[in-house]
Chains A and B, each alone.
Chain A
């Protein structure tokens, strides 16, 4: 009984974080902040849902399999996030022109202060 309550608590909190992610994806202003909102769903929400499912089924091999799927989420998430953000900066898909603090453009040797020179 307590096991079921814990499982439902974990699953519902994971679903709540997923809902927050969707609202954040819709409301945040530009690409990079939206990626931040998307990082919430894979680290917290997916892990909470997989943990809740593993507690719910409560059988050794099945739970181990589900937890292994959660670990694969944790491995693949940062690489995908990093690759999307870095590619969108390098290929100039979405440039953060309105940022006050941008140390990365100095590293790449670019200067986006004059916006009319981009034509």
Chain B
């Protein structure tokens, strides 16, 4: 029930933003459309939480999520500059390769969000996730090291600690 209500409210907010004004006809048509989508697809938007946590935990997670957005853009701009540096070299002098990086996350939402964040950062690209060995296969544009811990430090550690706290 809670997931249906939250999905409905989120969809209605998106509808109002796209409509651009709050009038009675926008609200009627929007709630009809949101209700249809909610009835069919609400279990794809939000999952039921198994464990019960006190409410301020979710508030803290939401706050951390907001705090994570500027940090992500800072990291993304840094690595975009690193890729752009390769563009202007006379002979592109990098060493591309596909490396295997272990992760400690177990929650499936956190895993997929972390994979998307790795792909979103320029310079690294998730190819696959191995469930039995709990490791990502990452295409890295410039393989600097083959040491497992150092590799992990350079690619995923900057996001993994945030994601591990937020989606747990």
B contact residues around A68 at 8 Å (CB)? 14, 17-18
Contact indicator per residue, chain A 91-107, by CB within 8 Å of chain B (1) or not (0): 00000100111111101
Interface majority SS (helix, strand, loop, mixed), chain B: mixed
Closest CB-CB distance, B154 to chain A, in whole Å?
Answer: 14
Closest CB-CB distance, A29 to chain B, in whole Å?
Answer: 7
Contact indicator per residue, chain B 92-128, by CB within 8 Å of chain A (1) or not (0): 1011111110000000000000011101111101111
**How far, in whole Å, are A17 and B21 apart by their CA atoms in the complex?**
34
The total number of A-B Cβ pairs within 8 Å is 116
Q: How many residues of A contact B (CB 8 A)?
A: 41
Cβ of A107 and Cβ of B122 under 8 Å apart? no
Within the complex, which residue of B14, B88, B125 is in contact with A39, where a contact is CB–CB below 8 Å?
B125
Question: Which residues of A approach B to under 8 Å, CB–CB?
Answer: 17, 20, 23-24, 27-30, 32-33, 35-37, 39-40, 43-44, 47, 61-62, 64-65, 68, 74, 77-79, 81-82, 85-86, 89, 96, 99-105, 107
